Structure 1
Amino acid sequence: MRAGKAGRGGTSRIPGVPNKKQQLFFDSRVRFTAYGGARGGGKSWALRRKLIALCLRYPGIRCLLVRRTYPELKSNHLGPLLREYGALLTYSEGEKQLSLANGSSIDLGYCACDRDALRYQGQEYDIIAVDEATQLSEYQFSVISASLRGTGDYPRRIYLTCNPGGIGHAWVKRLFIDRSFRPGENPEDYNFIPALVYDNDVLLSADPGYVRQLERLPARLRDAWLHGRWDVFEGQFFAEFDESVHVFDAAGGAAVIPNNTRRFVALDYGFDMLAALLLGVDTSSGLWVFEECCEPGLTLSEAAGRVVELCRGQEAEYAVASPDLWNRRQDSGRSGAEIMQAVPGMLPLRPADSRRIPGWRMLREYLAGRGDGLSLHISRRCSTLINSMQSLLCDPGRPEDAAGEPHALTHAPEALRYAVMSRPRPPESEATFLPFSFRRSRSLYDI
């Protein structure tokens, strides 16, 4: 493989031939390139090779290689880098840095917690490589990526490798799989290159038993690690959630949604996020989620206004919310419920049964839909709820509870939990009458 110029001298060649997916990774020039999906796709080798090639091509370039912990980074990258490119590199244990004779360098970093991310504030890098990006939170990635800056004539790019699962699953999936961008995020800056073990001819030849090992895994691990599926992964809280079963297309709603539903709203409020769901329960106790409003940075009054807009013309009967909304605020002496209830058109508020584990158990009953009437149907328009149901993680210390991080994923499922625990009563079935007709009977006068 030709890496380009090594300083002002001639050219350097580093051995090895990339497979087709690795070549796509090498050729990507966008600001954010993610590579991976399944285990064994050759991600680590490609990431190391890309960094060395950039260091040789651009003398003086500054790179950062990050993984969750430093022992993981040493085992997975430092050792292989020194074995593969030791003639080109000088390693400083004190500075945690690999340097080349042409002035290029690769700093070795880690980020096991938010405090670690702050170590990179004020640093400047031309290239940042994040290995196993789904093991970092969105906050940690945002802080580290803010170090991508400089004044030299170098490319400015971030390269990520990733597998489904982990605390960062949701943000990686949002950016690179779903391509659901927020204001300020340019879709042209993001490129995802999927990789499977079947793309890695070197591994298949050297260890053909590795594929059989992946094929013997439990179903969910097999789907994620062998097939690279992002909608299923180990540690997923709602493993039973299935888009093909629980999501309906609102465009065909007239043919799907029952005519007779009793409607209400469930909401989880915080200044960081309002999650409000418009729901209906049908005559069989099936639960339908028609619309959502998920918006950050709203005051209590503004949040109530959004709820009013959400259920306009829907004949919703009440809104159920977390009981802490009834706690009195020290600044005004009024509760959040009082402030929201004072907004014209706001539905009558009810405190939810906020018990977590019983609530999650009840929600699983709706997801199971075993024929006892309980079932759950979510409109495809409710993208935040759908993504949160797919990406919510188990609490590692309490498997029956959902994890509190990533926090952004918790709001919409919490609102849905309040909904099922409000024990919504189905509407009364319309009475049916047998057809009848009057028939004149004979009397004594009919002679």
Structure 2
Amino acid sequence: MFGGAAGGGKSHGQLLDALRFACLYPGSRQLMLRRTMPELERSLIPAALRLYPQRIASYKVSEHRWDFINGSTLEFGYCDAESDVTRYQSAEYDVLRFDELTHFTESQFTYLISRVRGANGFPKQVKSTTNPGGVGHQWVKKRYIDPAPPDTLTEFAGGTRLFLPARLADNPYLCQADAGYEKRLQLLSVRDRKALLEGVWELNEGQYFSEFSEALHVVSPHPIPSGWKRYLTIDYGLDMLAALWIAQGPNGDSVVYRELYQPNLIISQAAAAILAQESGKEQIYCRLAPPDLWNRRQETGKSAVELFADCGLLFDRSSNERVAGWLALHELLAPRQDETGAVRPRLTIFHTCRNLIRTLPALQHDSRNPSDVAGTPHELTHAPDALRGYAATVYQAPPAPPPSAYDADIGAFLRY
């Protein structure tokens, strides 16, 4: 990944590298992606038309594809909606290229890189460019920035990874042609200036749960004390079933000890999948589902909770208060000092609950209502919405300590 400051020539370099690969490996196939088609039409497509020699390649507008005289192809594509990745389900590419990688969700990226395959002898590569920030900031940082210093090749099970930092100074042509560009970047907000001018990845503005820390909130699986109450909370739709099992101690401390995260399940399949996760000895104190599952379905005349009940699962209605629920979750995640003096949160998560751990820190503030969570990309909201239902319904703030004699005297004085 080549990423960091704006103006470093990232997209230009991506296009030239694609041209080089197409010429070096006759018959190769490449796909270059932006999140939306208008972004392609404003940036990569016109830039490629200026850069690529027409004597060796021609652009087919209707198919958004460059055809080279040696048989190579470079296709431009997009993934606006989460499900748009399926348009590439049967495709094969030698190189997959993401422009502005942080605009994509991790699930989109993971699906799309499975399209890099083929029996030819060409190198198989995924090459990305991006600025910090955006809906994918957290997972991109975790994948490319955190594991190793810049310019350091790292090995992993599927190959190697490399992060190349981009700096405005890397592009002297822009600095010469537009001497005021850096000054305009200086006028941005502190957060945007850090991201676009300095290429800083340590950003948490816009992150809704900025207090979330894997070091603090993610724990290894451990035995659940027998006296703890166990809850199941779900967010259900045909696009995704997100189910979380949470144990709560007598003092209100909670631990998310299991998750189920699976798409395309009808209710009977979802119920079977949930029941298969629970051991025969496990006693669930309460199962929670959001109020919309009580709406009757036109095709059956029954609500979703009635259909779940037919399959052996009974649910109580969880609170659907969004802002109040998120605030309760803030309370559960907030680090606090316990009776031993240790600083820890009221909610921890087993490291096996990887989708909750992935999506919770990726949530952003709603730009129109900063007290709420942004509803897009929708894929990020399923597991956190299930957790919100638990927090809004079950969490109770600890009782305030009794007032001291001094406080009582002050209160009497103020009343007088």
TM-score relative to the length of structure 1: 0.63
Among candidates 275, 284, 287, match of residue 319 of structure 1: 287
Structure 1 372/365 Cα, relative in aligned 2: closer, same or farther at 3 Å? farther
SS of alignment partner, residue 379 of structure 2: helix
**346, 351, 361: which one pairs with 2:317?**
351
Letter in 2 for 1:356: R
Give the letter for the 1:352 counterpart. S
Q: Distance in 2 between matches of 1:223 and 1:242?
A: 21
CA contact (8 A) 2:58 2:68 kept: no
Q: Structure 2 length as normaliser, TM-score?
A: 0.67
Unaligned runs of 5+ in 1: 1-34, 180-186, 428-447
The residue number in structure 1 matching 2:278 is 310
Please name the residue that 1:23 is paired with. none
From 266, 271, 284, the equivalent of 2:251 is 284
Q: Which runs of 5+ in 2 are unaligned?
A: 148-155, 176-180, 340-344, 399-416
Q: Find the residue that maps to 1:405 and give its secondary structure.
A: coil
Answer whether contact 1:357 1:400 (CA < 8 A) is retained. yes
Cα shift readout 1:118-172 (whole Å, capped 9, x = no counterpart): 9989999765533113324679779988998999997675533244543455886
Aligned to 1:29: none
What is residue 421 of structure 1 aligned with on the other side?
Answer: 392
- Which residue in 2 is equivalent to 1:161? 129
Percent of aligned pairs with the same amino acid: 33
Match of 1:196 among 143, 165, 168: 165
Structure 1 residue 419 displacement after superposition: 0.5
- Counterpart AA for 1:335: S
Show the counterpart of 1:13.
none
Give the alignment partner of residue 339 of structure 1, picking from 301, 307, 313.
307
User: Residues 335 and 177 from structure 1, CA distance in 2 versus in 1: closer, same or farther, beyond 3 angstroms?
Assistant: farther
Alpha carbons 2:132, 2:200 under 8 Å: kept: no
Deviation (angstroms), 1:426: 10
CA contact (8 A) 2:102 2:134 kept: yes
Aligned partner of 1:382 among 327, 339, 353: 353
Q: Which residue in 2 is equivalent to 1:226?
A: 199
Instruction: Give CA-to-partner distance per residue, 1:218-273, whole Å, 9 cap, x none.
Output: 479848973546xx5554332222222222222xx36xx77753322212222332
- CA 1:87 to 1:202, structure 2 compared with 1: closer, same or farther past 3 Å? farther
Residue 210 of structure 2 is matched in structure 1 by 239
Q: Hey, what does 1:3 align to over in structure 2? A: none
Question: In the alignment, does 2:333 pair up with 1:360?
Answer: no
- What is aligned with 2:264? 297
Task: Using the TM superposition, give the Cα deviation of residue 288 of structure 1 relative to its aligned residue in structure 2, in angstroms.
Answer: 2.0
Give deviations 1:290-312, integer Å, cap 9, x for gaps. Answer: 22222333343443344443364
Per-residue displacement from partner, 1:59-99 (whole Å, max 9, x unpaired)?
A: 56565544346675576556766776669777869677767
Aligned length: 378
For the aligned residues, what is the CA RMSD? 5.1
2:373: which partner in 1?
A: 402
Q: How far 1:389 moved relative to its partner? A: 0.3
Deviation of 1:57 (Å): 1.9
Measured in 2, the distance between the counterparts of 1:306 and 1:426 equals 33
**How far, CA to CA, are the matches of 2:385 and 2:375 in structure 1?**
11
> Is residue 132–residue 195 contact of structure 2 (8 Å, CA) maintained in 1?
no
AA aligned to 2:358 is: N
Using the TM superposition, give the Cα deviation of residue 386 of structure 1 relative to its aligned residue in structure 2, in angstroms. 0.8
| SS in structure 2 at match of 1:399 | coil
Which of 415-424 and 68-77 deviates more? 68-77
Deviation of residue 414 (structure 1)? 0.9
Q: Secondary structure at the match of 2:265?
A: coil
Cα distance in structure 1, aligned partners of 2:310 and 2:81:
42
Cα pair 1:246 1:367 within 8 Å, conserved: yes
Pairing of 1:33-72 with structure 2 (within 5 A): 35-39=1-5, 43-59=10-26, 63-68=30-35
Contact 2:10–2:166 (8 Å) recurs in 1: no
Shift of 1:178: 10
Larger CA deviation: 90-99 vs 303-312: 90-99
SS at match of 1:49: helix
Verify the 8 A CA contact 2:5 2:195 in the aligned structure 1: no
How many angstroms does 1:56 deviate by? Answer: 2.6
The question of whether the paired residues in 2 share the 8 Å contact of 1:267 and 1:320 is answered with yes
Question: Partners of 1:142 and 1:279 in 2: how far apart?
Answer: 28
Work out which of the two has the higher radius of gyration on C-alpha atoms and give 1 or 2.
1
After alignment, is 321-330 or 157-166 more displaced? 157-166
Which residue identity does 1:404 align to in structure 2?
A: G
Q: Which amino acid aligns with 1:382?
A: C
Paired with 1:305 and 1:147, the residues of 2 have a C-alpha distance of 32
Kindly state the Cα deviation for residue 383 of structure 1 after the two structures are TM-superposed. 1.1
Q: What secondary structure sits across from 2:163 in the alignment?
A: strand
Inter-CA distance 366–151: structure 2 relative to 1 (3 Å threshold): closer
In the TM superposition, residue 352 of structure 1 has moved relative to its aligned partner by 0.7
Contact 1:293 1:310 in 2 (8 A): no
